[in-house]
Amino acid sequence: MPSFQPGATDADRNGCTAPQLRRFIKSRAYVPMHELRRRFAIEGGDDDVTPVEMDRGVRVFVGLPNREGRLLGDLLRSGDIGYELSFDPIAPIVVGVFPMRPVPRA
């Protein structure tokens, strides 16, 4: 039987953290959004989309539930990761992400 913390929601028990997202994205040259969902077992509906406000009033949409979409949005705004937008149709929907700064190797 799984152990549960009192008062913890499903998102708290099963959700990823911003450092986990950052580490996974930086370990690859490119990560499609479906790979993030698979890797972190992010469940949600096909229509789950989180708006992310970028610089200068630009808004992009991330195909993740609200909690994970906000975490990814923070990484996008900080410049830690970049994003690729959909070209067919042309829409501000993020289809993949990639690292912006190389990971130092020791």
DSSP states of 56-99 as a string? GG-EEEESS-HHHHHHHHHHHHHTSEEEEEEETTEEEEEEEEEE
Is 3's pLDDT higher than 60? no
Mean pLDDT of the region 81-105: 85
Q: Say if residue 89 is preceded by a cis peptide, omega within 30 of 0.
A: yes
* Ramachandran bin of 104, using left for φ above 0, alpha for ψ from -120 to 50, beta for the remaining angles: beta
Q: What average pLDDT does the chain have?
A: 84
Of 77, 56, 64, nearest in space to 33 by CA: 64
- Give pLDDT, residue 106: 64
List, for residues 20-31, the tens digit of each pLDDT value: 999 999 999 999
**Any idea which residue has 């190797």 for tokens?**
105
CA 91/CA 100 separation, integer angstroms: 22
Domain ranges of the chain: 15-99
- Give pLDDT, residue 94: 93
